[in-house]
Amino acid sequence: MNSSLRALTRLTLVALTLATAGASAQSTTTWSAADVTKATGREGCSQVVALPKRLPRSYNLAFVSPNKGHPFFGVWSQGMKDAAKFYKANFYEADAAGDAAKIPDLFETLLVRKPSVIGTGGQGPDVLDGIGARAQDLNLPFVGIDNGPNEYIPYNYGISDAFAGRLGAENLVKAVQIRQQTDWKGKELFFVEFTYKPATACVARTGAAAKTFKSAMKLDDKHVLMVDPSTGQNAADGMKAILAAHPNAVFAMIPCWDGLGFEPYNAAKDAGREKDVALFTLGGDKPSADLLKTNPVGYVGYLEFQPYCEGWGWVETSLGILTGRTLKPYQTRRITLQADIAKRYADLYGTGK
């Protein structure tokens, strides 16, 4: 081997060594998906962005909770706090305690913390447009949950609503098809969509559910019904009217959120017709688990939005935006049915005794 070839070989080996070392260093400087799953314990959250183990500077994350006393939003909050601690970011929170009118003032209050990112969740344009415009004026990233994007909120984070509705309907179809082989055999079937049109998320969720169920079960338009409490008729009264109009029929139901489904379910139960309904809900917080754990007739199960992981992912997404990282959408495919609830309940909440 001549001297030039030996020199070239040595340079090639050095380059390969440096490249390997660089790749190894890069792999150890960011948190892995396995790190996140381990850190989130029983929740087992999926990572939405690979963040550096050492953030380039101190970041202040601020969030206006719609209502920390609500089971779902309270778990959001805990997920955010734990994630901020894990990633060594500062987290500041204000609580609207169920009064959306307070959110703009609380937003202003949090500005004294000099946030790097600010957000809120689950609100309509009447609240979001004002604080979104204010954030833009301040060149402050606004990362909401389940309420973007729009002209004032460039970042879209949260549940994929159409995906959730479709996945819920697919699981409801399976349950209904089983019942059609037994106690629902030969009975007229309706799908009831419980929505709330002022919330665009609801329109996407329940609309996708209705479309999916209608197609799978080959229903005509007359057999797809809708109840919308924003029209002035509450869900329970809507269900009572439907039951009265169809005394011998059976009903598959998906609501925009869990509670919106429990009202008509209870109306059917009070009428002695819980065997005529099959309810699948979207959300899956503790009250839903508490009910499913009792094995109620007609309540099939739910798609878990995993609020703890959604809160955790909000922190990851916010820090990912600030550090210029590649983001993945938040997504959950965790289905909990009656056959699964005992184990899932114990995993999340203990035995309940």
- pLDDT tens, position by position, 298-326: 999 999 999 999 999 999 999 999 999 99
Mean pLDDT of 271-290: 96
- Show me where the domains of the chain are located: 33-158+307-332, 161-304
CATH classification code of 161-304? 3.40.50.2300
Helices (H), 31-124: 33-39, 71-87, 103-110
Q: Count of CB atoms within 10 A of residue 57's CB? A: 7
Following CA atoms 327, 330, 331, 335 in sequence, which dihedral angle do they give, to the nearest 10 degrees? 150
208-266 pLDDT, tens digit each: 999 999 999 999 999 999 999 999 999 999 999 999 999 999 999 999 999 999 999 99
Q: Matching CATH topology for 33-158+307-332 and 161-304?
A: yes
Report d(CA 35, CA 30) in Å as an integer. Answer: 10
The pLDDT score that the predictor gives to residue 54 is: 95
Q: What is the CATH architecture of 33-158+307-332?
A: 3-Layer(aba) Sandwich (3.40)
Confidence of residue 10 (pLDDT cuts 50, 70, 90): very low
- Whether residue 53 has pLDDT greater than 50: yes
**pLDDT band at residue 352 under the 50/70/90 scheme:** low
Spatial neighbors of 198 by CB under 8 A, at least 6 apart, are 124, 230
The CA–CA distances, whole Å, from 194 to 189, 197, 199, 260, 265 equal 16, 10, 12, 7, 11
- CA distance linking residue 103 with residue 122, whole number of Å: 11
On the 0-12 / 13-18 / 19+ scale of CB atoms within 10 A, 215 is exposed
List pLDDT tens digits, range 127-154. 888 898 999 999 999 999 987 667 777 8
Percent of all residues in the chain with a pLDDT value above 90, rounded to a whole number: 81
Amino acid at 100: A
Cα separation values, 212 from 50, 205, 258, Å: 34, 11, 19
- ∠ Cα 147 280 72 (to 5°): 45
Q: What is the pLDDT of residue 327?
A: 93
Q: So what's the pLDDT on residue 350?
A: 85
pLDDT band at 200 (very low <50, low <70, confident <90, very high): confident
Summary mean pLDDT of the chain: 90
Q: What is the mean pLDDT of residues 203-207?
A: 95
